[in-house]
């Protein structure tokens, strides 16, 4: 856990921000190269970058603020809402925000939505890989107590390490999800070359990510008891994943029919 990368005069640069930025750049670059197969130009992908970035940042921060208003923001100046340098971004909120921005961008630019979505889907997993490493550097999204050889500990002051006490070894859930996301990126990049209809890769991403996220959630310990659903059985991430899986399955079922009708 090393949240601060360096100081630039009075400005503090955090690893979280650097890694999220690197993930976004890598995602846009790889999506631009991939989309050529479907007749998309690299410029069409890169021109969407500001739209996707703004949508993702607004959505990610908004969901975090809504979820933790009482604990983090109710008694602080309103300007704290905009302080994202140290984290405080929820992936599913950012994903939904970027998705809305993507729909708006493709409609305004008259770009085929599902071809665009297929091109960027693997890159979402790639960018998320960098983001989870940023979570590790910040100390958020940490895991439950663990006695396995690869357990990690955080420095004093972290929720898992009381000042003056011993650190609690925990599951490196950030690394779990980073590795799984990178594996998902490799699989989707391979699958993109073999897709049968537009939107299939994006649908596959929705299903696969929601499943892997639900698995990693089993090892996370950063939620408060009151945040769980069904008497502690379902975490917030798993709850949203149910809707994401449903959406992915619906696209798998409906998009091939839409393709047949438009032929």
Query: What local confidence, expressed as pLDDT, does residue 177 receive?
Result: 97
CA distances from 199 to 59, 118, 120 (A): 23, 6, 11
User: pLDDT for 178-220, tens place per residue?
Assistant: 999 999 999 999 999 999 999 999 999 999 999 999 999 999 9
Give the rounded percent of residues in the chain with a pLDDT score beyond 90. 67
Q: Which of 123, 137, 228 is nearest to 174 (CA)?
A: 137
User: pLDDT for 70-104, tens place per residue?
Assistant: 666 556 555 555 555 555 667 888 888 999 999 99
How many whole angstroms separate alpha carbon 62 and alpha carbon 75? 17
Tell which phi-psi region holds residue 39, choosing left (phi > 0), alpha (psi between -120 and 50) or beta: left
Give the rounded percent of residues in the chain with a pLDDT score beyond 70. 88
pTM listed for this prediction: 0.88
User: pLDDT for 127-157, tens place per residue?
Assistant: 999 999 999 999 989 999 999 999 999 999 8
The residue ranking higher by pLDDT, 63 or 79, is 63
- Cross-strand pairs, 8: 11
Q: Which of 53, 55, 46 is nearest to 100 (CA)?
A: 55
List of residues 6+ apart from 188 with CB closer than 8 A: 121, 122, 125, 201, 204, 205, 208
Residue indicated by tokens 């599951």: 171
How many whole angstroms separate alpha carbon 44 and alpha carbon 35? 9
Query: What local confidence, expressed as pLDDT, does residue 16 receive?
Result: 87
Query: What local confidence, expressed as pLDDT, does residue 83 receive?
Result: 57
- Cross-strand pairs, 7: 12
Q: Which of 189, 188, 143, 199 is nearest to 169 (CA)?
A: 143
């Amino acid at each position: 856990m090393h949240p601060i990368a360096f100081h630039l005069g009075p400005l503090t640069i955090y690893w979280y921000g650097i890694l999220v930025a690197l993930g976004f750049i890598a995602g846009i670059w790889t999506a631009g190269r991939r989309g050529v197969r479907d007749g998309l130009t690299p410029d069409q992908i890169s021109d969407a970058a500001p739209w996707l970035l703004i949508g993702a940042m607004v959505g990610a921060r908004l969901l975090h603020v809504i979820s933790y208003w009482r604990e983090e923001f109710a008694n602080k100046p309103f300007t704290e809402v905009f302080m994202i340098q140290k984290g405080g971004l929820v992936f599913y909120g950012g994903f939904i925000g970027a998705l809305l921005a993507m729909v708006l961008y493709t409609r305004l630019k008259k770009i085929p939505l599902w071809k665009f979505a297929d091109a960027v889907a693997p890159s979402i997993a790639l960018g998320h890989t960098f983001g989870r490493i940023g979570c590790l550097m910040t100390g958020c999204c940490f895991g439950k107590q663990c006695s396995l050889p690869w357990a990690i500990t955080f420095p004093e002051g972290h929720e898992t390490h009381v000042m003056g006490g011993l650190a609690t070894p925990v599951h490196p859930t950030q690394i779990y999800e980073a590795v799984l996301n990178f594996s998902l990126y490799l699989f989707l990049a391979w699958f993109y070359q073999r897709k049968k209809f537009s939107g299939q890769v994006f649908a596959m991403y929705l299903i696969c990510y929601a499943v892997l996220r639900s698995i990693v959630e089993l090892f996370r310990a950063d939620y408060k008891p009151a945040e769980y659903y069904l008497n502690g059985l379902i975490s917030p991430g798993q709850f949203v994943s149910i809707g994401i899986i449903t959406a992915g399955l619906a696209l798998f079922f409906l998009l091939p029919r839409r393709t047949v009708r438009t032929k």
